[in-house]
Chains A and B, each alone.
Chain A
């Protein structure tokens, strides 16, 4: 009998994940040991410190290309780049999460388990400090995302999927206002997410049956072998893809998105729209480019149809929305479609342009939800579109910032929205997927309308009695907004440095 051998572990390469998970565990201990009134500041500091430390190690280890822990984790160009992106976007999200000046106690409820509408609930809505468990939960989620984009076999990927999903389900349920909507969102997300995980796991089983292994290199080799069962291969690939497309919010696995985006606390919505998207597409890229690139001619048309449906559904339904968060949710669905167009280019520029798009979109969407969290009245955020009428007169600066972000979403040049669209469309034409680009262009036209409608509402309509004033943001939200807006502008005007970075990073190891 062979001795059990411990696998080699490259701690340096794994340091970003280790730091996040370690800090999350320390955060849990803080929850148990520290007095309630001191937790917020310390937890926020710890979270930011951990993210920045992880970011620094990513930068230090930027040239590492290694497969480690017995082949479970691949640290390669895309992984390192996506780690950096997730951590950067995570820092900005955490700034939004930590904001407590907009509303007494912050955006989170203090005790989620209290029955909605009871005396205790009314009392806690009035300003009891929010739950500080959100910080370790966020760190766990971000750590899971890091593992997800670097996972080198399907099982590790599944574990990572659960590690980042479970905290997100919980976080969705913690909104201070509109508790029922928040709980419904969490429930829906959890149930549908569980189905998606089950599909994913079933797919992993089929792929194991097909190739006799779960690691991507073996799958890649098995795909090239014509003697194996195609039924298992395509069945497995389809089921795995469902799990991944669910997280990416691609049609027809998108139905959770508007409800969850609307019900979740706005900072968490921002986190999901930015970081979860990066993680989901990072995973999808790795699975399709590393493991299954041998059957690209088979999945390309199917996923192409999904991309078209995603863009169309997102764009058409965005037109009909009357709630700002739902509008941004459908816009995020449409953006998932554009990202899929980049993924389906299936060449080097497809990989690099998708990564560029993820970063660019992440910053813009963070800024957008940052603004949403500012427009509020006595009952919390005023998300109905009619309430935004005439906002440009009352708060020109914020209306201008939001207009800029919307123009970026619409893909007007000199914003990152244009450069990123150009990048993915260019990659797709190069990859012979012109039909996807044509649909991309058509849906961009449709999608411009809802964005423009909001701009018109804010600037060209007269303010009504019910137009809320924009709250003055605290330092944290202001910082998050500034970073988001500056990044949106900078990536639109001088995208070259980031494009070079993505180009250099666009090489998977197998």
Chain B
């Protein structure tokens, strides 16, 4: 089982599926949907098997595979996963079938090709899995950039209003970040000296990096990841892209694709440039805290549901950011758990919002009002998704947010205290949004929209049920996930060379330096 090439198959499988779906004639949209769904379920099944085969307390990197690619540069197809990447891989594999199911009727067959849309989704899945599974810096960079292309066409061809603007903005922002990273990758390759891109070899060599060079290289990587995540002040593309993208694709965008940013910081910035990470940490913490408060305030004021959810995500990424740069195991585990939970909660929120939008034909809050009287069950799901998103105790995000805050409090009290205000703002934007859309007097216009009379369908129930269940399950019993995450986070924190202060240091007595 250990030698089964899980990661390369997991990466390539969706691509094969995409090729199959892309060649289905345009007129047979339903066939394309069915095949895409079945294919993504196979990927999900494989990822679950991989989860079971992963040994939580074992080696840091498992399922390692390496194939020759460009010997002149030392670039190889190297795949390996630690606990952090593993949970993200499974999250992707879980979300994609739900997204496919949720977008079942989203593509207007008369205007756009249905098979192409689903082929693009599967291509996106391939690149996303590849990014998290790569253990070769060159391979990671390649997939990081290629990932833009399918998303660009999904937003640009299948999105709503201002989709062209949003697609180009998304592409250019990410590309600019990516090119900074390219410069850093080249620099890393040269100072790495071995003419290799292998992550572990480079990490071994990283102790000898010149302090100044390492700081520049850190910055190159960090900018790319900060744009991708996005952190304040690199965030302005996300609300536009979130609004313009089809809601299920937006769920994938903020649920998984953006996590590449925070994952990249954990996997590349911290271990490869530990000194630079510590040096830049105060700045990153400040950005994180500003992001939490600023994005939350903006979210309160939004009148567009999709834009509102996008801003809440930026606020959440602020939490993830401070959790990472607090450099404690608790906060780090909290951040990674947050990445998973945010994928589930915001994914659910975006999917439900998408169901609202497709019924009403508008995403403006003011176009709803009292919708709960017409579609009570769906309104209830929206309420639940909102509560999960504001980290109500009992839902999964509460645990991660709590871990991040107490983990940060042990080292950076001021930041933790300020960040806590973000929770209050979160309650404000979620509850006010729910109140304005589903509660209160019924907006008379809604009764004239026939689709608004139809409550949640079976297909939609199948989409939301797994997410609701997981949010509750992980809210009460997160151990299966934390067991996988914890060792990887501990090792990452060791790489940075920090030790947990106070009581936790006793439990974790190893000192890296």
Q: Is A407 interfacial (CB-CB < 8 Å)?
A: yes
Contact of B186 among A422, A456, A494, A496 (CB under 8 A): A422
CB of B72 within 8 A of CB of A449, answer: no
CB of A412 within 8 A of CB of B146, answer: yes
A419 to B180, CA, bound (A): 16
A499 to B69, CA, bound (A): 12
A111 to B3, CA, bound (A): 71
Report if A456-B164 is in contact (Cβ < 8 Å); known contacts: A429-B187, A437-B186. Answer: yes
**In the complex, which residues of chain B have a beta carbon less than 8 angstroms from the beta carbon of A503?**
72
Proximity string of chain B (61-98) to chain A, C-beta cutoff 8 Å, 1 when within and 0 when not = 00000000111110000000000000000000000000
- Nearest-Cβ distance from residue B233 to partner chain A, whole angstroms: 18
Residues of B within 8 A of A (CB-CB), count:
31
Q: Is B189 interfacial (CB-CB < 8 Å)?
A: yes
A495 to B73, CA, bound (A): 10
**In the complex, which residues of chain B have a beta carbon less than 8 angstroms from the beta carbon of A83?**
none
**In the complex, which residues of chain A have a beta carbon less than 8 angstroms from the beta carbon of B143?**
413
Which A51-86 residues sit within 8 Å CB-CB of chain B?
none
A407 to B145, CA, bound (A): 11
Contact of A460 among B69, B70, B157, B189 (CB under 8 A): B157
Which B178-233 residues sit within 8 Å CB-CB of chain A?
179-180, 182-183, 186-187, 189-190
Q: Is B172 interfacial (CB-CB < 8 Å)?
A: yes
CB of B183 within 8 A of CB of A430, answer: no
Binds B, one of A5-13, A40-48, A132-140, A438-446: A438-446
**In the complex, which residues of chain A have a beta carbon less than 8 angstroms from the beta carbon of B176?**
445
A412 to B145, CA, bound (A): 7
Contact of A461 among B69, B164, B180, B186 (CB under 8 A): B164
- Nearest-Cβ distance from residue B152 to partner chain A, whole angstroms: 8
A407 to B176, CA, bound (A): 14
Report if A500-B153 is in contact (Cβ < 8 Å); known contacts: A418-B142, A429-B186. Answer: no
CB of B168 within 8 A of CB of A456, answer: yes
By size class, the interface of chain A is 20 to 34
CB of A441 within 8 A of CB of B70, answer: no
CB of A449 within 8 A of CB of B172, answer: yes
**In the complex, which residues of chain A have a beta carbon less than 8 angstroms from the beta carbon of B164?**
456, 460-461
A444 to B156, CA, bound (A): 22
- Nearest-Cβ distance from residue A448 to partner chain B, whole angstroms: 5
**In the complex, which residues of chain B have a beta carbon less than 8 angstroms from the beta carbon of A456?**
156, 164, 167-168
Q: For residue B159, which residue of chain A has the nearest CB? A: A460
A456 to B244, CA, bound (A): 15
**In the complex, which residues of chain A have a beta carbon less than 8 angstroms from the beta carbon of B259?**
none
Contact of A441 among B153, B157, B180 (CB under 8 A): B180
CB of B72 within 8 A of CB of A496, answer: yes
- Nearest-Cβ distance from residue A396 to partner chain B, whole angstroms: 9
- Most A CB within 10 A of own CB, among B146, B172, B190: B190
Q: Is A338 interfacial (CB-CB < 8 Å)?
A: no
CB of B71 within 8 A of CB of A496, answer: yes
CB of B142 within 8 A of CB of A413, answer: yes
CB of B175 within 8 A of CB of A500, answer: no
Q: Is A459 interfacial (CB-CB < 8 Å)?
A: yes
Q: Is B141 interfacial (CB-CB < 8 Å)?
A: yes
Q: Is A426 interfacial (CB-CB < 8 Å)?
A: yes
Report if A430-B190 is in contact (Cβ < 8 Å); known contacts: A412-B146, A418-B142, A460-B163. Answer: yes
Q: For residue B153, which residue of chain A has the nearest CB? A: A459
A220 to B153, CA, bound (A): 54
Q: Is B319 interfacial (CB-CB < 8 Å)?
A: no
Which A477-495 residues sit within 8 Å CB-CB of chain B?
494-495
Q: Is B505 interfacial (CB-CB < 8 Å)?
A: no
- Nearest-Cβ distance from residue B39 to partner chain A, whole angstroms: 22
CB of A445 within 8 A of CB of B156, answer: no
Q: Is A414 interfacial (CB-CB < 8 Å)?
A: yes
- Nearest-Cβ distance from residue B111 to partner chain A, whole angstroms: 10
CB of A459 within 8 A of CB of B146, answer: no
**In the complex, which residues of chain A have a beta carbon less than 8 angstroms from the beta carbon of B415?**
none
Report if A434-B172 is in contact (Cβ < 8 Å); known contacts: A460-B156, A460-B163. Answer: no
CB of B156 within 8 A of CB of A459, answer: yes
Which A449-465 residues sit within 8 Å CB-CB of chain B?
449, 452-453, 456, 459-461
CB of B190 within 8 A of CB of A426, answer: yes
CB of A445 within 8 A of CB of B175, answer: yes
Q: Is A210 interfacial (CB-CB < 8 Å)?
A: no
CB of B70 within 8 A of CB of A496, answer: yes
Q: Is A425 interfacial (CB-CB < 8 Å)?
A: yes
Contact of B149 among A407, A422, A461 (CB under 8 A): A407
Q: Is B171 interfacial (CB-CB < 8 Å)?
A: yes
Which A414-440 residues sit within 8 Å CB-CB of chain B?
414, 418-419, 422, 425-426, 429-430, 434, 437-438
A18 to B267, CA, bound (A): 58
**In the complex, which residues of chain A have a beta carbon less than 8 angstroms from the beta carbon of B180?**
441
CB of A413 within 8 A of CB of B179, answer: no
CB of B146 within 8 A of CB of A414, answer: yes
**In the complex, which residues of chain B have a beta carbon less than 8 angstroms from the beta carbon of A410?**
175
CB of A434 within 8 A of CB of B187, answer: yes
Which A15-61 residues sit within 8 Å CB-CB of chain B?
none
A437 to B186, CA, bound (A): 9
- Nearest-Cβ distance from residue A432 to partner chain B, whole angstroms: 10
Q: For residue B220, which residue of chain A has the nearest CB? A: A441
**In the complex, which residues of chain A have a beta carbon less than 8 angstroms from the beta carbon of B182?**
422, 425, 441
CB of B149 within 8 A of CB of A495, answer: no
Proximity string of chain B (135-152) to chain A, C-beta cutoff 8 Å, 1 when within and 0 when not = 000000111011011000
CB of A425 within 8 A of CB of B186, answer: yes
CB of A495 within 8 A of CB of B186, answer: no
**In the complex, which residues of chain A have a beta carbon less than 8 angstroms from the beta carbon of B168?**
452-453, 456
- Nearest-Cβ distance from residue B185 to partner chain A, whole angstroms: 8
- Nearest-Cβ distance from residue B237 to partner chain A, whole angstroms: 14
Q: For residue B184, which residue of chain A has the nearest CB? A: A441
CB of A441 within 8 A of CB of B183, answer: yes
**In the complex, which residues of chain A have a beta carbon less than 8 angstroms from the beta carbon of B73?**
422, 426, 499
A495 to B69, CA, bound (A): 9
- Nearest-Cβ distance from residue B195 to partner chain A, whole angstroms: 10
**In the complex, which residues of chain B have a beta carbon less than 8 angstroms from the beta carbon of A430?**
190
A236 to B149, CA, bound (A): 48
Report if A495-B70 is in contact (Cβ < 8 Å); known contacts: A414-B146, A422-B182. Answer: yes
A336 to B189, CA, bound (A): 25
**In the complex, which residues of chain A have a beta carbon less than 8 angstroms from the beta carbon of B175?**
410, 445, 448
Report if A425-B183 is in contact (Cβ < 8 Å); known contacts: A412-B149, A414-B142, A496-B70. Answer: yes
Q: For residue A428, which residue of chain B has the nearest CB? A: B186
Report if A445-B179 is in contact (Cβ < 8 Å); known contacts: A426-B73, A456-B167, A460-B163. Answer: yes
CB of A500 within 8 A of CB of B72, answer: yes
Q: For residue A440, which residue of chain B has the nearest CB? A: B183
A145 to B143, CA, bound (A): 39
CB of A438 within 8 A of CB of B183, answer: yes
Q: For residue A430, which residue of chain B has the nearest CB? A: B190
- Nearest-Cβ distance from residue B202 to partner chain A, whole angstroms: 15
Q: For residue A426, which residue of chain B has the nearest CB? A: B186
Proximity string of chain B (115-158) to chain A, C-beta cutoff 8 Å, 1 when within and 0 when not = 00000000000000000000000000111011011000100110
A448 to B172, CA, bound (A): 8
Listed A/B pairs (15) with beta-carbon separation below 8 Å: A413-B141, A419-B70, A426-B189, A437-B186, A441-B183, A442-B179, A445-B175, A445-B179, A452-B172, A456-B164, A456-B167, A456-B168, A460-B157, A460-B167, A494-B69
Contacts A438-B183, A460-B163 aside, 16 further interface pairs with beta carbons under 8 A come to A412-B148, A418-B145, A429-B190, A430-B190, A441-B182, A444-B179, A445-B175, A452-B171, A456-B164, A460-B164, A461-B164, A494-B69, A496-B69, A496-B71, A500-B72, A503-B72
A residues in contact (CB < 8 Å) with B:
407, 410-414, 418-419, 422, 425-426, 429-430, 434, 437-438, 441-442, 444-445, 448-449, 452-453, 456, 459-461, 494-496, 499-500, 503
B residues in contact (CB < 8 Å) with A:
69-73, 141-143, 145-146, 148-149, 153, 156-157, 163-164, 167-168, 171-172, 175-176, 179-180, 182-183, 186-187, 189-190
8 closest A-B pairs by beta carbon, nearest first, are: A413-B142, A499-B72, A460-B164, A460-B156, A441-B183, A441-B179, A429-B190, A413-B145
